Structure formats: C-alpha cells, structure tokens
Amino acid sequence: MHGYMPPSDTAESVTSGHPDKLCDAISDAILDECLRIDSNARVAVETMVKGIGGEAVIILAGEVSLNGRTPDYERIARDKATSIGYVDSRIGMDASSSELCDVLTYITTQSQFISQGVDGDLDTQGAGDQGVMFGYACIETEQTEELRGRFFPLAAALSQRLTRRLEQVHDEQIIPWIRPDGKSQVTVQIDKKNNAPKGISTIVIAAQHAPDAGPNWPDENNLSDEERRLYIEAEIRKHVVEHAIPSSLMKDPEVIVNGTGSFPDPGGPYADAGLTGRKIIVDTYGGGRHGGGAFSGKDPSKVDRSAAYYARWAAKHVVASGIAEKCEIQVAYAIGKSNPVGLRVETFDTSRSELGTDPDQEISRLLMTHFDWRPAAMIRDLGLKRPIYSATSSGGHFGRVPTDEGLFPWERLDSEKIEALAGAIRDRE
C-alpha cells in the first residue's frame, strides 16, 4: 500500500441470509418459542448449516430445560430458514424439502450443576457462567438527523442500515434477482482535531444474485459480464445505498459492489458453512473490545447476553445524560454469584471536568448506585424473559430503535436515570 491514508473507522454488517446469521436466526427462533412456553426456560442452542451437491443439512445442538411441551425444533428451523429465503437448492439450500435438507437435532437438558447456581430470586440468582461483557455508547450518530438518539458508532450504524435495507429489497422483491446472502461495510473518515467522523470514504456491498441478473430478468438477455456487473452495481446503488445512507453523508464516497465482479447463485450455506455466534463484532459495535461471548440461542440467565445488554443500556444513559461523549463499560461475573466481581468505566478523556480528578471512577460509582447489576435485576429491569430475540438475530443488537411491542428494551432511555446521572454534574457546579 502506498500513499497517505487518513484516520478512519470501519465497520461491517451481514444480512439474515448470511450463513452465520441464518444460524443465529434459527437459534433465536428456538429461544423465543421456548420462552413462549415457559418464561423461565433455560436455553443454550447452537446451529450449524451447510449445503453441498444440491442438498443441505441443519444441525441443532445444545441444552434446553423448560416446564411444558417440547418445541418442534425441526419445524422451527425449517420455518425460519424458508422465511429468510432458502427455498431452492440452486440458491444455497431448500429448507422446505425434507428430501433436499436434513435437520439433525442433538438437544439435551441443562446440567443440574449449572442450574443449581442460576435459579433463585434477586439476591440468590447467580450468573449462568463466568465471563467479561462490554457495553458502549458515543455521540457519533447525534449529528445526523436520521440517526439521532442512537448514541452509536457511525460506521456501525450505517453498515447495519445497509444490510437491513438489502434484506428489505430481497423480501419485498424490489430487486427480484437479489438473493438472501449479503454483506456491507462502511469506512468513515475521522477528523483528527476533535476525533469525530467527518464523512464516508468507502461503502462496500456484497449481494448474492441470480446468475442471469439483468434489466430483463428472468427473460434471456445478452449482457456481457461487464454490462451485467455495471447494471447490478447501479441497481444496488439506487435501491440500497442511496436509500439507506442519509444524503447529508453522501459526499461522493467510493462505492464497491461485489468486489470480485460477481456473486451469483449458489451462495448462502452452499458457499460457506454457517455457525451460531461467529459474528460477535457484527452483533455489537463494529469494533473495539469484546468479552468473547456470543448472544444468539441463549436465554437471559446467561450474562453473556443479559449483562452485555445491560452494559449497553447503562453506557447509553451516561452519554445521553451529557456527562461523557464516549463511554465503555466492562463488567465481569463469576458463575453462581449474583453481584459482579468487577466493573470498570472508560470515557477516553471525554467526561465532564466537574466530575473531578478521576471521572471514570466517579461514573463507575454512579453506575453502581443507579443501576442494579445482579442477573435477576437486569432481567427484571429490561423485561428479558419475553420472546423478543428473533428480531436481534440480524441487523445488529445495538443502535436499534426500541419499539412499542417491547423490542430492543436496552435501547430505551429512562428519564429518571438520565436525571440522576446529570444531577451529579449540577451538584458539583
């Protein structure tokens, strides 16, 4: 590489049809069904998919304990894969066909040695495992009207918007030759003076498509490879990029569509095997520190999921209250113990001077005072025993808009908590 490359931040996202996200979707669909049957269900389900020679396999493995009927795991897996668009082996998998797609199930009950430390009330319910979780928030999205209120890294927010739009274009057949598998990536240039985003330099889209995609699809056409490539690029620009990226940020970025020139059928599980939990950075903030625990297929007693959600919730309140422009929270647990064994805050020198000589320590104290980090309390405060997880399996778990139906509750801001944090500044003035 030659020449000067300005400071930048890059994040990627993948569609629900990406093989790994397909697995996350199946695992979370099983979780939601278990929670519909028993809100106290204990679930840890992994999924693997692979297509080969016109056939495919979905493998389900893990542990489930619940009071009630056993879900039809095979039906859930097939329904979820077909709803994403895998209904033809020529695309990558035909999940609707028992002849062309096997579903193998290896799900047992949870170990009694884990459950004995996890069940209980606010004071006695311990963490489902040891581990370290991170939550993060910042002001990068707050200068763009369409993204305001997210308090999220800009590159990650934009890459997620692109893949969610790519999914919509597929589901609604806005571009009829688009297939389920796809990726996006956004590079944002950073202003060195104030370490803030100043514009998009590069947008990358990978979109699986029919081999004969063209202006007259599906009728036969005589496009050359280059003509077809240019046509696909123009359609993706028009229906995906220009729709998903706010016009205020479109200052002539480089747009790369299918960088190798083509991404034709078969894609999805035929092109790559998929596994649950292999997109942990895509699921979170697009980069930065991560404790390593994946989310999908895990019920909220697993702090890998609930504590990561709670840490995001707390970090978002710190930034929304105005006491810091960036906030990263690290929280750690020991299996079977209700209180965290450690909590650390890093605001990267963006906190208010009124907080004193050690502002990060002061913010840590405030978070321990105004947020309850015990597993049962986190589950209570965010209402995590509900079947709300399928919506998280693609498009990112964070930086989303909370809904009236109760989705993404960790993105909801609590005015009383904001006032309590902001009050700490006023008390020192």
* Per CATH, domain 19-118 is 3.30.300.10: yes
Give the SS3 label for residue 296: coil
At 198, phi and psi to the nearest 5? -125, -5
For the segment(s) 131-136+300-426, the CATH number from 1.10.150.120, 3.30.300.10, 3.30.365.10, 3.40.50.10860 is: 3.30.300.10
Question: What value does the mean pLDDT of the chain take?
Answer: 93
Helix, strand or coil, per DSSP, at residue 152: coil
Just list the catalytic residues: 18, 20-21, 46, 63, 183, 263, 272-273, 278-279, 298, 302, 304
Q: Tokens 């569609």 belong to which residue?
A: 15
What are the structural domain ranges in the chain? Answer: 8-14+153-266, 19-118, 131-136+300-426
Q: What is the pLDDT of residue 209?
A: 96
Q: pLDDT at position 129, please?
A: 83
- Model confidence over 42-56: pLDDT tens digits? 999 999 999 999 999
CA gyration radius for the chain?
23
**Mean pLDDT along residues 212-227:** 89
Please state whether 252 falls in left (phi above 0), alpha (psi between -120 and 50) or beta.
Answer: left
Q: What is the pLDDT of residue 369?
A: 95
Q: How far is CA 321 from CA 58, 378, 401, 424, in A?
A: 46, 20, 18, 10
Report the phi/psi class of residue 408: left, alpha or beta, with left for phi > 0 and alpha for psi in -120 to 50. left
- Looking at per-residue confidence, does 5 or 288 come out higher? 288
Give the pLDDT mean for 214-239.
92
Can you name the residues that pair with 48 across neighbouring β-strands? 59, 275
262 and 231 in contact (C-beta within 8 Å)? no
pLDDT digits (tens, 9 = 90+) for 117-173: 556 667 778 887 899 999 999 999 999 999 999 999 999 999 999 999 999 999 999
Asked whether residue 378 carries a pLDDT value surpassing 90, the answer given is yes
CA-based end-to-end distance of the chain: 51
DSSP, residue by residue, 261-278: S--BSS-HHHHS-EETT-
Using CA atoms, how far residue 221 sits from 34, 156, 207, in Å, is 49, 38, 20
Token couple for 401: 């808009």
Of 379, 376, 366, 298, nearest in space to 329 by CA? 366
Kindly tell me if the per-residue pLDDT of 13 is higher than 60: yes
For the chain, the residue count is 429
Q: Which of 13, 46, 262, 26 is nearest to 156 (CA)?
A: 13
In this structure, which amino acid lies at residue 401? V
Number of H helices, E strands in the chain: 12, 13
CA distances from 61 to 84, 157, 263, 268, 275 (A): 21, 32, 31, 21, 11
Q: Which pLDDT value is given to residue 4?
A: 59
Read off the tokens for 32.
């939601």
What is the tens place of the pLDDT at every residue in 276-299? Answer: 999 999 999 999 999 999 999 999
The closest of 194, 244, 325 to 13, measured between CA atoms, is 244
The pair of structure tokens assigned to 1 is 């590489």
Residues paired with 101 in a beta bridge? 56
> Would you state the pLDDT for residue 319?
98
**Identical fold, 8-14+153-266 and 131-136+300-426:** yes
Nearest to 334 by CA among 117, 134, 114, 129: 129
Task: Return the half-sphere exposure (C-beta side, CA atoms, 13 A cut-off) of residue 8.
Answer: 16
* Joined tokens for residue 137: 């928030």
Q: What is the pLDDT of residue 367?
A: 97
pLDDT at 115: 53
- For residues 366 and 353, what is the distance between their CA atoms, to the nearest angstrom? 16
Which CATH architecture fits 8-14+153-266?
2-Layer Sandwich (3.30)
Residue with tokens 């569509």: 257
Instruction: Return the amino acid letter for 400.
Output: R
Q: How confident is the model at residue 191 (pLDDT cuts 50, 70, 90)?
A: confident
pLDDT of residue 392: 98
What is the residue-wise DSSP string for 335-393? Answer: BT-SS-SEEEEE-TT-B-GGG-S-HHHHHHHHHHHHS--SHHHHHHHHTTTSS--GGGS
Among 244, 247, 11, CA closest to 144 = 247
The per-residue pLDDT for range 236-260, each reduced to its tens digit, is 999 999 999 999 998 889 999 999 8
